[in-house]
Amino acid sequence: MPDRFDPLPALDALERRTDGPIPEEARRVARCGSALRLRFFEAVGQADFFRRMARGQLDIIRRRQMDGSFYPALVEDLALYRREYAHWATLARALRAELNLPLTPPSTPGRDPR
């Protein structure tokens, strides 16, 4: 398993090189360790977002079918959320493999899992 990345030295070096405000993208890359890791974290976040949107949309469709207020555009939105989830989840899996990261993060020491 790769060692934990400490962003402070990278941020410090970036601050010394930059005259004025540090560009947002450069700061985000420095905090993550590399542009590849940044893309991975973004892909995981986007996949989670669209997964949650799809689940919420399914709940809405079920409720609307029961109360009679269903309309076809709800299914179109669900299809969009599922397509986007599939795209981002596939990208996250590919980046995880490229970065050689474990499938699940290690548990945080000192936290009660309950």
Does 87 lie in the same domain as 50? yes
pLDDT band at 82 (very low <50, low <70, confident <90, very high): very high
Query: Looking at the predicted structure, is the pLDDT value of residue 2 above 70?
Result: no
110 inside domain: no
Does 42 lie in the same domain as 24? no
Lowest-confidence region among 7-16, 47-56, 57-66: 7-16
11 inside domain: yes
Radius of gyration for the chain, computed over Cα atoms and rounded to the nearest angstrom = 20
Does 5 lie in the same domain as 19? yes
Amino acid identity of 24?
E
Lowest-confidence region among 13-17, 30-34, 51-55: 13-17
Q: Which residue has the tokens 């450069």?
A: 26
CB 10 within 8 A of CB 30: yes
Does 41 lie in the same domain as 27? no
Does 68 lie in the same domain as 45? yes
Q: Which position has the higher pLDDT, 25 or 77? A: 77
- In the chain, the percentage of residues whose pLDDT exceeds 90 is 55
Does 94 lie in the same domain as 40? yes
Does 41 lie in the same domain as 76? yes
Q: Supply the pTM of this predicted model.
A: 0.73
Does 44 lie in the same domain as 18? no
**What's the CA gap between 17 and 96, in Å, rounded?**
30
Query: Looking at the predicted structure, is the pLDDT value of residue 68 above 50?
Result: yes
**What's the CA gap between 17 and 8, in Å, rounded?**
14
The structural domain count of the chain equals 2
**What's the CA gap between 17 and 11, in Å, rounded?**
10
**What's the CA gap between 50 and 76, in Å, rounded?**
14
Does 59 lie in the same domain as 97? yes
CB 5 within 8 A of CB 33: yes
Domain that holds residue 92: 35-101
**What's the CA gap between 50 and 88, in Å, rounded?**
8
Does 46 lie in the same domain as 1? no
